[in-house]
């Protein structure tokens, strides 16, 4: 696909519900200003039952969508294609909107896996053999795909309702990982876990802190908590009190935004941006994170 003209104004946005806390507008506006693009990026409160109508109204001025809860699965039937990562995880957080003589096209991507991996790499976590993923939704599926890319061989899936772990287990096994499923409320089972990496995908990190407080996994592993509002999360507070390292969800957000910007400007999540390292540093700085 061709790169849009730097002089052409385009519309983009982040969709979800609730959405007022989103930092995506800050990140994308920072990036487009640095790239010299006169693009507009706003937040839209769109619940799942309103997504179809919102997408139907997208006109030629639109270039792309970022998607958060609860839309990462809802959008899939509306798409013309998905990239390999989105297909493997069953989760789409990025939609490229293009128009041609044939009409409008919607291509879905998953940049969460890239964001998780890069946030961990920047924090010094280059590899993992045995990971724990807390949660059972779309982001949890992205998390197991990310730990597989880090070389993990096994993942323990910890969630409130073990009977809902099926999709995460399927993604993990498709990624080459062995799995076990542990109930979050089963403190004795959680106490037996000694991973080298833990990723929490619980909204706000709520509900896991009391369970894991003082247990081995808070001392044996780094934590990436994808939550960032509020920060530090309940879980990150417990982790750091135990002497462990907690990587904030804002770091993941910044790195997945870089992959989204690759898609929106060039159509390819694998094609680095010009001066991408400097651009990444500017996004991290906008979030008051170390570059």
175-229 residue pLDDT tens: 999 999 999 999 999 999 999 999 999 986 667 898 999 999 999 999 999 988 8
- Domains of the chain, first to last: 11-111+251-286 (3.40.50.10860), 124-244 (3.40.50.720)
72 included as an active-site residue: yes
From the list 63, 72, 117, 130, the catalytic residue is 72
| pLDDT for position 204 | 67
Model's pTM, two decimal places? 0.95
Task: Give the model confidence (pLDDT) of 85-142 as tens digits.
Answer: 999 999 999 999 999 999 999 999 999 999 999 999 999 999 999 999 999 999 999 9
Residue 6 has pLDDT above 90, yes or no: no
Q: Return the C-alpha torsion angle 116, 41, 205, 219, nearest 10.
A: 30
């Amino acid at each position: 696909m061709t790169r849009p003209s730097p002089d052409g104004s385009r519309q983009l946005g982040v969709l979800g519900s609730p959405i007022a806390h989103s930092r995506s507008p800050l990140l994308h506006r920072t990036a487009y200003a640095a790239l010299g693009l006169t693009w507009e990026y706003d937040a839209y409160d769109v619940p799942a039952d309103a997504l179809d109508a919102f997408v139907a109204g997208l006109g030629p001025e639109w270039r792309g969508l970022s998607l958060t809860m609860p839309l990462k699965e809802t959008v899939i039937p509306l798409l013309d294609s998905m990239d390999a990562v989105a297909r493997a995880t069953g989760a789409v957080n990025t939609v490229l909107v293009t128009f041609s003589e044939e009409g409008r096209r919607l291509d879905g991507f998953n940049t969460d896996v890239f964001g998780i991996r890069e946030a961990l790499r920047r924090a010094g976590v280059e590899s993992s053999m045995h990971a724990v993923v807390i949660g059972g939704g779309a982001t949890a599926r992205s998390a197991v795909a990310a730990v597989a890319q880090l070389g993990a061989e096994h993942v323990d899936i910890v969630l409130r309702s073990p009977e809902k772990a099926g999709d995460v287990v399927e993604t993990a096994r498709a990624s080459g990982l062995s799995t076990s499923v542990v109930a979050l409320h089963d403190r004795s089972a959680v106490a037996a876990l000694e991973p080298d990496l833990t990723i929490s995908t619980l909204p706000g990190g709520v509900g896991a802190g009391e369970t894991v407080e003082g247990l081995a996994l808070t001392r044996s592993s780094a934590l990436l908590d994808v939550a960032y509002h509020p920060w530090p999360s309940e879980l990150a507070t417990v982790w750091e009190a135990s002497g462990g390292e907690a990587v904030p969800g804002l770091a993941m957000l910044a790195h997945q935004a870089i992959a989204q910007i690759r898609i929106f400007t060039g159509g390819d999540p694998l094609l680095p941006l010009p001066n991408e390292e400097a651009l990444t540093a500017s996004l991290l700085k906008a979030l008051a994170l170390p570059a």
